[in-house]
Amino acid sequence: MPTAPLFVIDDLHASVEGVEILKGVSLTVERGQVHALMGPNGSGKSTLANVLMGHPAYTVTKGRIRYKGDDITAWTPDQRGRAGMFLAFQYPEEIPGVTVVNFLRTALSNRTGTDYTVLELRLKVGDTMRGLGMEPELADRYLNEGFSGGERKRNEILQMAVLEPEMAILDETDSGLDIDALKTVAEGIERLSTPERGFLVITHYQRMLDYLTPDVVQVFVDGSVVETGGPELAKRIEDEGYDAFRLAPVE
Q: What percent of the chain has pLDDT over 90?
A: 47
Q: What is the pLDDT of residues 190-222, one digit of tens each?
A: 888 899 999 999 988 777 888 888 999 999 999
Confidence class of residue 251 from pLDDT cuts 50, 70 and 90? Answer: very low
Q: What is the DSSP letter of 138?
A: G
Angle of helix 118-131 versus helix 149-163 axis, rounded to 10: 120
Residue 184, pLDDT score: 77
Evaluate the CA torsion angle 52, 172, 107, 35 in order and state its sign: positive
Judge contact between 35 and 218, C-beta under 8 A. Answer: yes
Which SS3 state, helix, strand or coil, does residue 43 take? Answer: coil
Confidence class of residue 250 from pLDDT cuts 50, 70 and 90? Answer: very low
Residue 51, pLDDT score: 97
CA distance 125 to 114: 16
Confidence class of residue 248 from pLDDT cuts 50, 70 and 90? Answer: very low
Q: What is the pLDDT of residues 87-97, one digit of tens each?
A: 988 777 888 89
- Domains belonging to the chain, first-starting first, are 7-245 (3.40.50.300)
